[in-house]
Structure 1
Amino acid sequence: MKSTLVGSVLLWAALNVPAVALVPGSGLDGSRRWETLFGAVAIGIAVAVRRTWPLVSLALCAGLWWTLALLLDDVDSVAVMACLPAVCVMSYAVGRLQVDRRAALRVLGPVSVAAVVGGVRSGLTVPMWAVLASGLIFAGLLPWLLGRYTRQRYELQVAGWEHARQLELQQRSRVQQARLRERARIAEDMHDSLGHELNLIALRAGALQIAPDLGDHHRETAAGLRAGAAEAMERLRDIIGVLREDGAPPPLEASHAGVGVLVDRARASGAGVELQCTGEAGDLPGMTDKAVYRVVQESLTNVMKHAPGAAVTVRLDHNQLDVTVAVRNSPPVRDPLENRAQGGRGLIGLQERTRLAGGEFRAGVLPDGGFEVFARLPRVPGRAGAGAGTDGAAVGVPEAIPAGAPLAGASPVGSGQGPAFGGLLRATAGLRRRFVVAVGLPLGLFACLAVVMLGYYAYGAATSVLPPSAYAQLEIGAPADAVGRLLPSREMSDAPSEHRPEPPGATCSYYRASADLFVTVDVYRLCFAHDRLVDKTELTAESRLQADRG
C-alpha cells in the first residue's frame, strides 16, 4: 500500500514536470498559474483512479489536453503538448488493464463527441485537426496497443507456466504409474519363483505325511505344514491379483528362455540383431536374471517400433561382481511404426526394475542419432539404488531419469506435443502478430496522415501566394474587386501567431509571399472595410519568429 502511494505521487510529479518547466507563466505568480493548477488537480485525480477506473483517468487527461487546445487556439503550443505525457500514461493503463468494451464506449464516446463538436464550433483549421489526429495516434492509440500487448503477453506467460506445471505433474504421475506397474510385474515374477518353492514344500510335506516310518505326531505336523503351504499359495495369488491392473499383460515368460531366444525371435522378424557375450554367466540371482531379460526384451521391442531397419547390437558382459547389458541401435532407416510420443513408460519401468535390483540404468540418444539402453546389475542383490550410472555422459544423457522430466530421446506423453501445447503455440504466434499490429498500425496511420497533410500543405502553400510585385501594386483605398483580381485563389490556412492591431470594422486576410515549404516566410495582411482596401501590412519572417518565441 505504501509503495503504491509513493509510486502514484512520483508519477503525478513526473507528469506535471513538462507543464511547470516548459510552459511560460506557469509559476505561482505567472499568467497561467490557474491553468497549471487546474491541470495538476486533473492529473492528480487521473493518477489516483488509474487502476480502478482507467477509462475515467484517460477521459480526464484527454479532456484536459483538448480543452487547453481549444482555449489557447494553438494545438501545437508548449502548454498543450505538455499534457500529452499524461494522455500516454493513461492510454497505456487502459490497454494494460482488462477494460469492458461497452464501458469504454459509454465513457469515451461522449468525450469524443464533445471534442469533435467543440473543435468544429471553435473553427479549427485542417492543419490543427491533423496535429490533433497525430497526437491521438501517438499519445492515445499507440500506448493503448502497447498496453494491450503487454497484458496479453503477461497472460500468455501465466498460461504457459501453468501449462508447464500441469505437464510436470502429469509426467510425474506417469513415471510413478510406470514404476508401480513394474513393481507389480516384479511381484508377479517373484510369485512364480516363490510359488514354485511353496509347491515343493507342499509336496515334501505330503511325502512325509504318508511315510510309513513316521509317527502320528510327526504326520500331523507334516499335514499342518502342507496345509500352511497351500494357504500361503492362495494368499500369494490374492496379493498378486490386487497388484495386477485390469487388462494388464500376463506375467513375463520364464527367464530361462534366455536372451539368446529373444535375439533369435527378433532375427526371425527381420531385425538385424547381433549378440555379443563375454565372461561366464553362471548362476544369477532371480532379480538380476529377470532384469537382464527385461532390458533386452523392452529394448528390442522399442527398436522395432521406433527405429525399424536399424542395426542392433546386444552386448552382455559377465564378471565376478556384476553383469552389464547394453542394447545399441543405429539411426532408423524407415519411418517408425508408432509415434515416438507414445513411448517412455517402458524405459521408466526398466529403470525401476534395475534400481530395485541394486543396479544402475541409463538410456539416451547417441551422437550419431542412434539410441542406447545400458544397465549394470550386481550378482549379489543389494539395496535399491538411484538407477543412474557414473558415466552417463558417455551416451550424452543425464545420469538418472528424473521424475517429472522427459526421458532423453524418448518424448513421452505429456511432453507438450498435444492440443494444449498447440493452442499455446498458436496463442504465441497470435501475440507476435498483435505486437506487429500494435506498432505498425499507428505508424501506418501516421504515415498516411503525413502524406495527406504534406500534399494538403503543399497545395495550400502554392495556391495562397501573393507575389511581392502584385503586393506592391496594391494601393490603400482601392476597390475590393480591383484588388481581388491580383489576389490568389486561397488565403493562408494557418494564420500567423503574430497579432497586430486591425483597423476597426475591417476584415483581414493573410497571404504568403513565397511557396517555400517547411520554412517561415513573409506574410502579407490585407484588411477590407466597406468594399475597399483600408490596410496592407507585411509580416516579415524575422518578426514572426520573434513572436513565436515569445
Structure 2
Amino acid sequence: MAAVESDDPAGPPRGRRWLGDLLLWGALSAPVAYAGVTPPYPRYAVPLLLGSLALLALAVAVGRRLPLAALVAVVFGSLVDGNFVFAIPVFSYLAGRRSAGAGRVAVLFGVIAVAGTALNLGLLGTGPATWFLLASVLLFAGVFPWLLGRLRRQQRALAEAGRRHAETEERERRAAVDRVRLRERARIAQEMHDSLGHDLSLIALRAAALELAADLPLAHRAAAGELRASVAAATDRLHEIIGVLREERSGSLRPADETVAELVCGARDAGMAVELRDGSAEVELPRLTAHTVHRVVREALTNAARYAPDAPVTVTVDRADGAVAVSVVNGPAPAGPLPGPASHGSGLLALRERVRLAGGVLDAGPRAGGFALSARLPLAGDDGRGVPGGVAEPATASGVVRSDATNAVRPGGPGGPVGEADDGGPDTGRPDRASEDRTGAAARRLRDARRRARRSLLVAFGAPAVLGLVLALVYYPLATAGAVLDRTGYERLRLGDTRDSLGLPERQADPPTADTPSGCEYYTDGNFPFAEPTWRLCFSDGRLASKERIAS
C-alpha cells in the first residue's frame, strides 16, 4: 500500500488541501458523532466515539498518499460502528482517483470478501441473506465507487494525453514549416553558389590574365587589377550572403567582431575555470572559419557550465598544415549537472552540420571521466570545403563524428556533454528523428489512455451485469431451494392443523431478526432477488397456532 501514489502530485495548494480534508472529515464524522450522542448510550460510549473520530481523522490524513490504507481503516471501523458505512464509498471513490494501478485494489477487495464470508458464515453463523446483504454493501459501497473514481482518473489522463498530443502536433507542424523554409533557403544558397559564384570566379580569372598581359598599357593592367579586386570583394560578399541563408535564424547573438579570447575572458569573468591556449592569435582566419570556431567554443563553454559546473576547462586553438584545430576539454563535474530539462542530443548534430558546411570535421565523446570536443577546419581550398559559404559533400558518421558521440551526449554523463549545442543549427531538410520519436510517444500515450478509459468504462457497466447474473443464477436458486411457500399454499393452511399435515417446504428461510419467538418458522414466497422471508408460522404442541405475513 505504501507504493500507491496519488493521482495528482502537484495538486492544489497545501492550504486548500488541508481545508478540503477538514471538510471531508467533518462530513464523514457527522453520522458517527450523531449516533454517539443520541441515547440510549452504549457502554464505553465516549471512548468509542473518540476512537471512531480519531480513526476517521487518520484515514483522511493518509488518504492522499496511502488511499488503500485509508479504505482499510474505514472498513475495520465499520466492524465497530455501522455508521462507518457512509465513509466506505467516499474512500473507495478516492482510492480509484488516487491509486495508479488496479491489481492491489482487486486483491484488497478479494481479501475483504473472503474474510467477511468466513466471519459471517463461519464464526457468526449468519444466514445467506445476511451474507448477501453484506456482499451487496461491499459491491455498491466499495467496488462501484472505486470503479467510478478510476474511470474519472482515466478520463483526466485521457484529457491530459490529448492535450499533450495536440501540443506535440502543433510543434511538429511548426517544425515542418521551418524545415520547408530552411530547405528553400538552402536551395537558393546552393543556386547562388553554383551560378553566381562560378561566374564571378571566371571573371576574376580573366581579369587576372589581363593584369598579367605584357602587351597591355600599364593603365589598362591597373584597371584589370582593380576589376579583379572588386570581383574578389563581391565573391566574399556573396559567400557571406550564402552563409546568412544557411543560418537557422536570420541573425546571430554573437557580438560583432568578438574573438575567442574575448569569449573565454567573458566565461572566466562569469566564474568558470577556463584556460586558453591560442596558437593562431596572430593569424587572420577566413570569416566563416572564424565564425565556426567561435560557435564551437561558445557552445562547448555553455554546455560545460551547464553539465559540468566547476570543472576545469581547457580551450585550444591551433593552426597547422593549412587548417585550424579547435578543442574544448573539461574534467568530471564535481557536483553533477545543473537541474534542467533532459537533452535529446540534437544540439551536437546541429553543431556537426555547421562544421561540415565550413568544410571541417567534428569529434566528440567522453575522455578521462570528462568530455572532449574537437573540430578541424581548413583555412583554404579549391573544392568548396575551405571557402566561406562553400558547399561540402555530406560526410559519413565515421568521417565527422564517432558513432558513439551522439549516444554519449546526455545530461549527467561523464563530466557532462560540453559539445552539446542548445539552440540548434542549420536544417538540412532531413527528418528529425527526435521529433518523430516524440510524436510517436505522444500518440502511444494517447492510445494507451483511451484504451484504459474504454476498459474502465466496460468494467463499470459490466460489473452490474455480472452481479445480476450472480443474483439470478447463483444466489437466488440457493436462497429459494426448498424454502418457497407460495401464496396459494399459504392460504390453504388452517389453524389447528398438525404440522406434519400442512406439507410445508423442506427448508426454512432465515429469520429477519435474531430475537425470533420460539416455535415460529419462516418461509419465503420466492421474491426476487433477495428471497427474503415472507411468512411466519408459529406452532404450539405440534399444531399451527398462528400465521401471518411479515411486513417488508
TM-score (norm 1): 0.51
SS at match of 1:510: strand
What CA deviation, in whole Å up to 9, does each residue of 1:193-214 have, x standing for no partner? 4653564466467547648673
Distance in 2 separating the partners of 1:514 and 1:203: 118
Determine which of 114, 134, 137 is the counterpart of 2:136.
134
Q: Summarize the Cα distance change of 1:135–1:236 in structure 2 as closer, same or farther, 3 Å threshold.
A: same
The equivalent residue for 1:407 is: none
Determine which of 152, 169, 173 is the counterpart of 2:154.
152
The equivalent residue for 2:460 is: 439
Distance in 1 separating the partners of 2:225 and 2:188: 31
The equivalent residue for 2:522 is: 511
Distance in 2 separating the partners of 1:537 and 1:228: 132
- Return the offset for 1:189: 3.2
What CA deviation, in whole Å up to 9, does each residue of 1:356-383 have, x standing for no partner? xxxxxxxxxxxxxxxxxxxxxxxxxxxx
- Return the offset for 1:418: 7.5
- Return the offset for 1:53: 1.6
- Equivalent position amino acid for 2:175 in 1: S
Aligned partners of 1:512 and 1:523 also within 8 Å: yes
Q: Report 1:56-455 matches (<5 A).
A: 56-66=69-79, 80=82, 82-98=83-99, 111-120=112-121, 121-191=123-193, 192-193=195-196, 195-196=198-199, 199-200=202-203, 203=206, 206-207=209-210, 210=213, 214-215=217-218, 219-220=221-222, 222-223=224-225, 225-226=227-228, 229-230=231-232, 233=235, 419-420=440-441, 423-424=444-445, 426-427=447-448, 429-452=450-473, 453-455=475-477
- Return the offset for 1:119: 0.8
- Return the offset for 1:148: 2.3
The equivalent residue for 1:27 is: 37
SS at match of 1:7: helix
Determine which of 537, 542, 545 is the counterpart of 1:524.
537
- Equivalent position amino acid for 2:16 in 1: S
Aligned partners of 1:464 and 1:492 also within 8 Å: no
The equivalent residue for 1:462 is: 484
- Return the offset for 1:516: 7.5
- Return the offset for 1:487: 5.7
Please say if 1:472 is aligned against 2:495.
yes
Aligned partners of 1:134 and 1:446 also within 8 Å: no
Distance in 2 separating the partners of 1:40 and 1:55: 19
Q: Summarize the Cα distance change of 1:522–1:459 in structure 2 as closer, same or farther, 3 Å threshold.
A: same
Distance in 2 separating the partners of 1:197 and 1:456: 102
Distance in 1 separating the partners of 2:106 and 2:442: 36
Distance in 2 separating the partners of 1:99 and 1:176: 39
- Return the offset for 1:9: 1.7
The equivalent residue for 1:252 is: none
Distance in 2 separating the partners of 1:147 and 1:223: 86
- Equivalent position amino acid for 1:472 in 2: L
Q: Summarize the Cα distance change of 1:88–1:511 in structure 2 as closer, same or farther, 3 Å threshold.
A: closer
Q: Summarize the Cα distance change of 1:470–1:157 in structure 2 as closer, same or farther, 3 Å threshold.
A: closer
SS at match of 1:229: helix
Distance in 2 separating the partners of 1:195 and 1:513: 106
SS at match of 1:190: helix
Distance in 1 separating the partners of 2:218 and 2:24: 104
Distance in 2 separating the partners of 1:511 and 1:519: 10
Q: Report 1:491-510 matches (<5 A).
A: 492-497=508-513, 499=515, 508-510=519-521
Aligned partners of 2:485 and 2:525 also within 8 Å: no
Aligned partners of 1:167 and 1:415 also within 8 Å: no
SS at match of 1:488: coil
Distance in 2 separating the partners of 1:429 and 1:111: 31
- Equivalent position amino acid for 1:61 in 2: V
Distance in 2 separating the partners of 1:537 and 1:29: 37
What CA deviation, in whole Å up to 9, does each residue of 1:464-493 have, x standing for no partner? 88846645125xxxxxxx644546134542
Distance in 1 separating the partners of 2:146 and 2:24: 18
Q: Summarize the Cα distance change of 1:85–1:434 in structure 2 as closer, same or farther, 3 Å threshold.
A: farther
Q: RMSD of the alignment, in Å?
A: 4.5
The equivalent residue for 2:371 is: none
SS at match of 2:511: coil
- Structure 2: gaps (5+ residues): 1-13, 248-431
SS at match of 1:472: coil
Please say if 1:55 is aligned against 2:68.
yes
- Return the offset for 1:444: 0.9
Q: Summarize the Cα distance change of 1:451–1:160 in structure 2 as closer, same or farther, 3 Å threshold.
A: same
What CA deviation, in whole Å up to 9, does each residue of 1:170-217 have, x standing for no partner? 33333323322222222233342465356446646754764867336x
Distance in 2 separating the partners of 1:473 and 1:222: 144
SS at match of 1:52: coil
- Return the offset for 1:231: 7.3
Aligned partners of 2:168 and 2:439 also within 8 Å: no
Distance in 2 separating the partners of 1:234 and 1:187: 14
Aligned partners of 1:46 and 1:56 also within 8 Å: yes
- Equivalent position amino acid for 1:124 in 2: T
Distance in 2 separating the partners of 1:169 and 1:418: 9
Q: Summarize the Cα distance change of 1:37–1:189 in structure 2 as closer, same or farther, 3 Å threshold.
A: same
Q: Summarize the Cα distance change of 1:65–1:464 in structure 2 as closer, same or farther, 3 Å threshold.
A: farther
TM-score (norm 2): 0.50
Distance in 1 separating the partners of 2:192 and 2:21: 71
The equivalent residue for 1:269 is: none
Distance in 1 separating the partners of 2:547 and 2:76: 35
Aligned partners of 1:61 and 1:83 also within 8 Å: yes
Aligned partners of 2:482 and 2:505 also within 8 Å: no
Distance in 1 separating the partners of 2:201 and 2:234: 8
Q: Summarize the Cα distance change of 1:471–1:27 in structure 2 as closer, same or farther, 3 Å threshold.
A: farther
Aligned partners of 2:522 and 2:537 also within 8 Å: yes
- Return the offset for 1:147: 2.3
- Equivalent position amino acid for 2:521 in 1: Y
Q: Summarize the Cα distance change of 1:132–1:174 in structure 2 as closer, same or farther, 3 Å threshold.
A: same
Q: Summarize the Cα distance change of 1:526–1:50 in structure 2 as closer, same or farther, 3 Å threshold.
A: farther
Aligned partners of 1:61 and 1:86 also within 8 Å: yes
- Equivalent position amino acid for 1:115 in 2: G
Please say if 1:488 is aligned against 2:504.
yes
Q: Summarize the Cα distance change of 1:103–1:438 in structure 2 as closer, same or farther, 3 Å threshold.
A: closer
- Equivalent position amino acid for 1:126 in 2: P
Determine which of 9, 17, 30 is the counterpart of 1:4.
17
What CA deviation, in whole Å up to 9, does each residue of 1:308-354 have, x standing for no partner? xxxxxxxxxxxxxxxxxxxxxxxxxxxxxxxxxxxxxxxxxxxxxxx
Q: Summarize the Cα distance change of 1:30–1:7 in structure 2 as closer, same or farther, 3 Å threshold.
A: farther
What CA deviation, in whole Å up to 9, does each residue of 1:97-139 have, x standing for no partner? 2356776588666655432221121112111122222222222
- Equivalent position amino acid for 1:31 in 2: Y
Aligned partners of 1:19 and 1:83 also within 8 Å: yes
The equivalent residue for 1:332 is: none
Aligned partners of 2:154 and 2:453 also within 8 Å: no
Distance in 2 separating the partners of 1:105 and 1:55: 11
What CA deviation, in whole Å up to 9, does each residue of 1:31-59 have, x standing for no partner? 35566655444333222211122121111
- Equivalent position amino acid for 2:448 in 1: A
Q: Summarize the Cα distance change of 1:17–1:490 in structure 2 as closer, same or farther, 3 Å threshold.
A: farther
